[in-house]
Amino acid sequence: MTAGILSIEDRELAAAQFLDSCLSMTFKPLLFNATDRPSDARIEHVVGTAVRTFLAAYRR
C-alpha cells in the first residue's frame, strides 16, 4: 500500500477475501474431514490463483 502498488479501500475485507481464497480449497475441507491433505502442487495452484485474483482486483 505504501509503495503505491495496490489500491484498497477496505483492507480488512481484502485480507479476508485473500485468506479465504487460499484456505477454502486447502485447509477448510480438512476441518470437516472431507478430504485428505492436498498435495504441494495443489496448494501452489490454489495460492497462486488467489494471488493473481487479488492483484487483478486491487493492483493500481
From the first residue on, what is the mean pLDDT of each consecutive set of 10 residues in the chain (60 residues)? 86 97 92 91 97 96
3-state helix, strand, coil in the chain (%, to 5): 60, 5, 35
Q: Do residues 46 and 19 make contact, with C-beta atoms less than 8 angstroms apart?
A: no
Provide the pLDDT for residue 4: 85
pTM, 2 dp: 0.85
Provide the pLDDT for residue 17: 97
Q: 50 exposed, middle or buried (CB, 10 Å; 0-12, 13-18, 19+)?
A: buried
Residue 6 lies in a domain: no
Instruction: Report the C-alpha gap between 41 and 39 in whole angstroms.
Output: 5
The number of folded domains in the chain is 1
What's the domain range around 24? 11-58
Q: Cell 487479488, residue?
A: 54
Residue 5 lies in a domain: no
Provide the pLDDT for residue 1: 61
Provide the pLDDT for residue 54: 97
Residue 4 lies in a domain: no
Residue 24 lies in a domain: yes
